[in-house]
Amino acid sequence: MTRIKRGVTTRKRHKRLLKETKGYRGQRSRIFKQAKTAWMKAGEHAYMDRKKKKRFFRGLWITRLSSACRAQGFSYSRLIEGLTKKAILIDRKILAELAVSEPEAFAKILEAAKEGVATGGLMAGAASNDSAEEKPAKKPRAKKVAA
C-alpha cells in the first residue's frame, strides 16, 4: 500500500482558518490551535446574537409604541387589545414605524383601537355566545398502575 502524505491538505485547511481569523488579537490570529477555538467561539456568539437581535428589536418596537401611546393618553396593552378586538392585523414593527414617521396615521389606528376597547369589538360578541354545554366534555385520564 502506498503512503499518503497529507501536508498539502493540512496546510490548506490551516491557511483557510487563519485567513478567517485575521484581525483577531494576539495568538488567536496566528496560531492554528488558538485560532480554531476563537473561531468556534465566535461562531457560537454569532448564532446566539442572531436570536438576541430579534428579541432586542421587538422590545424596541414595544418601547416606541408605548411611548407614542402614552403621549396620546393611552396604554400599550390597551392598544394591542383594541387592535385584536377590531381584527386589525398590523405587526409591532410597522406600528412603531408609523408612530415615528407618520403620527397622523398612527393616531387614526389608535382611535380605532380605542373604539375596539370601548365597544368590545368583533370578538367580544362571539365569546359571549359560547356556553359550557356546547363544549365537549373532557375524558378522564386513566391512571397508571405500578407493576
pLDDT in tens, 64-117: 999 999 999 999 999 999 999 999 999 999 999 999 999 999 999 999 999 988
pTM of the model: 0.68
Residue 88 near residue 109, CB atoms below 8 Å: yes
Q: Cβ–Cβ contacts within 10 Å for residue 124, how many?
A: 11
Residue 115 near residue 85, CB atoms below 8 Å: no
The pLDDT assigned to 49 comes to: 98
The pLDDT assigned to 124 comes to: 47
CATH superfamily of 11-121: Ribosomal protein L20, C-terminal domain (1.10.1900.20)
